[in-house]
Structure 1
Amino acid sequence: MGSGLLSRHALPGPPVPLDGSAPGQPERLRPLLRATTRLIAVIAWTLLCIPVQFVLLLLPGRGRTVLPRLYHRVLCRLIGLRVRVVGEASHARPALFVSNHASWLDILVLGGVLEAAFVSKAEVGQWPLIRTVARLGQTVFVSRSRGRTSQEAQAMRQRLEEGGSLILFPEGTSNDGTRVLPFRSAFLGLADAAAAVQPVSVAYDGLGGLPARRCDRPLFAWYGDMEIGSHFWQLARLPGGSVTVLLHEPVAPGAFANRKDLTSAVERTVVHGAAALRQHRPATPASTQPGRGGLAFS
């Protein structure tokens, strides 16, 4: 018995997988088990938070905005996404946070970092379960149809005038995560109702504990005709990822001559920040300045 025990310790055992799964477990089952576990955890956490948030909306206080932030932060952990934040969120209220947009994951990431509601396309308000979560999070839905533009703009302005901060994606759509699309100045037409506008750069920069390569970023991105269910399942099968949120210096909307100048300056700041993150360069919050050039790094 003793010699057998010694021999087992002396012989090298099978390598231990980096994802923590048991040695000898079939390789093809690990992603399936990982995704199934994450899906069950996400559904359970969501079903737990929905009734709590419903009650908080009926009560006074900050609970209605604090719980959504906790909800999104925990969701990131449950799906294996590590969030790194550089910079500080604006203390001025209400604030209009302006970010680039690559995926539905941006909702989880920014929702866990910023105490603010989202401005989302109307289609989201029709998705089962997700629409319930979005409405309880006080999301402002916009259809972007010409006939309702003024009405929806007024709804966003009213939210700001009531003191509620908003998170806006002025690209108008998501993309493959390797670039930032041009910002639409119409989205910042309500910026004058905010005490501050804060540019935000987001980049998914890690996968499986290693720096993400250009070919890895589309794994996180959700765009075009992708279905959110299948994209979640594909993503949940992967090892953990990481994302960096770069919070630039807030700017006063009144410092710019018009919304087009504001949009251009904020866009340059977000673009430069996102490019630095994608290239794994040191991330530094920038100060957005009016006029040509538009930004300065601190």
Structure 2
Amino acid sequence: MDAVARAPIDALRPRRLRRRKPLRFRQGLPGGRLFDVFEERPLGGRLRAVRRLLLVALWTLLCIPVQAVLLALPGHAKSLFPVLYFRTLCFLLGLKVQVIGRQSRHRPVLFVANHSSWLDIPVLGGVLDAAFVAKAEVGTWPVIRTVARLGRTVFVSRSRGATGKEAEEMRSRMAARDSLILFPEGTSNDGTRVLPFRSSFFAIADAAAEIQPVSVVYDRLGGLPACRRDRPLFAWYGDMEMGSHIWALARRSGARVTVVLHEPFPPRLLPNRKTLAAEAQRIVTEAAERLRQNRAAAPLAPRPRETVA
């Protein structure tokens, strides 16, 4: 049989495929779609979310009458019970809270923290023995307003006419040795940065024995470091709906938040409220940036400045 001569270039050309249909491989994991971990799971986490939300509702209903009775009784129990309530609430939501640093032992203390979500309330409420300062709109939300009032929250409005009265109320609360938690940013954000602290929020700082900055960062999701695309799952801002936001969070597992309690300092350490706001913002921002970059963070101390005449 005579050999057929071929050009060298023909040896490099692929032969024509004889198979008209493409090859189809079966899945490597046995058991069908039930055990296919690579496919989307639209039902994943729904049972977890339902269980968590039911437990949260039951826990809240049980605690409301208890706190109502404690408010009518003398003593410090009415401020300690909300700590237990919020700490259990974080546990029921599947949110692990990591605390770095120590809370100031002096009273009253003005805690100033960054703000990115409604989650900051149960997180800080379960860590700090203090009452919140919230905007007046919170006092109109169903259910939440009841919990806020039982937690002895101080409501402030944006009306200039009521500013003096609200400041006096906060001063009277601190005069009674009640510590307060303040969000000097004035609003929540997407969790990727810290907004400038407004110096007007520090007008009552002189009534506190100490100021303690606090950094709050949601740094874990599914047991892994949270990245920029995961921030909206924790952050609640703009026109987001709270119901859908709570549902999406309750479906997920392995979430963690880190709270850094920085070194407390007396208000007189800095000359005025503008420098006080700037220094508190610097401390909170530096620690928050390290946590968002998956780096270790430690409590920071303020840098004292010369008193301005």
TM-score by length of 2: 0.85
Deviations 1:10-35 (A, max 9, x none): xx9769x9xxx9x9xx9322321111
Q: Secondary structure at the match of 2:112?
A: strand
What is the rounded CA distance, in whole Å, between the counterparts of 1:161 and 1:28 in structure 2? 53
Q: 2:189 aligns with which of 171, 175, 191?
A: 175
Pair 38,191 (structure 1): closer, same or farther in 2 beyond 3 Å: same
Aligned pair 1:56/2:64, yes or no?
Answer: no
What is the rounded CA distance, in whole Å, between the counterparts of 1:246 and 1:13 in structure 2? 46
Aligned pair 1:39/2:44, yes or no?
Answer: no
What is the aligned partner in structure 2 of residue 106 from structure 1?
120
Conserved? CA contact 2:271–2:305, under 8 Å? no
Identity of aligned residues (%): 62
Q: Secondary structure at the match of 1:30?
A: coil
Q: 1:135 aligns with which of 143, 149, 173?
A: 149
* Aligned AA (2:215): S
What is the rounded CA distance, in whole Å, between the counterparts of 2:212 and 2:170 in structure 1? 16
Q: 2:303 aligns with which of 283, 289, 292?
A: 289
Q: Secondary structure at the match of 1:164?
A: coil
Q: Which runs of 5+ in 2 are unaligned?
A: 1-28
Aligned runs of 1:62-73 on 2, under 5 Å?
Answer: 62-73=76-87
What is the rounded CA distance, in whole Å, between the counterparts of 1:67 and 1:240 in structure 2? 27
Aligned pair 1:273/2:287, yes or no?
Answer: yes
Shift of 1:231: 1.1
Aligned runs of 1:227-246 on 2, under 5 Å?
Answer: 227-246=241-260
What is the rounded CA distance, in whole Å, between the counterparts of 1:73 and 1:108 in structure 2? 7
What is the rounded CA distance, in whole Å, between the counterparts of 1:173 and 1:260 in structure 2? 19
Q: 1:251 aligns with which of 244, 262, 265?
A: 265
User: Alpha carbon RMSD of aligned pairs, Å?
Assistant: 1.9
What is the aligned partner in structure 1 of residue 198 from structure 2?
184
Conserved? CA contact 2:134–2:154, under 8 Å? yes
What is the rounded CA distance, in whole Å, between the counterparts of 2:31 and 2:70 in structure 1? 51
Conserved? CA contact 2:269–2:305, under 8 Å? no
Q: Which runs of 5+ in 1 are unaligned?
A: 1-11, 293-298
Aligned runs of 1:90-105 on 2, under 5 Å?
Answer: 90-105=104-119
Q: 2:140 aligns with which of 126, 136, 146?
A: 126
- Please say which of residues 152-161 and 41-50 is displaced more in the overlay: 152-161
Q: 1:206 aligns with which of 193, 196, 220?
A: 220
Paired positions, count: 274
Larger radius of gyration: 2
* Aligned AA (2:159): S
What is the aligned partner in structure 1 of residue 11 from structure 2?
none
Conserved? CA contact 1:219–1:235, under 8 Å? yes
Aligned runs of 1:207-226 on 2, under 5 Å?
Answer: 207-226=221-240
Shift of 1:162: 1.1
Runs of 4+ with >6 A deviation: 12-15
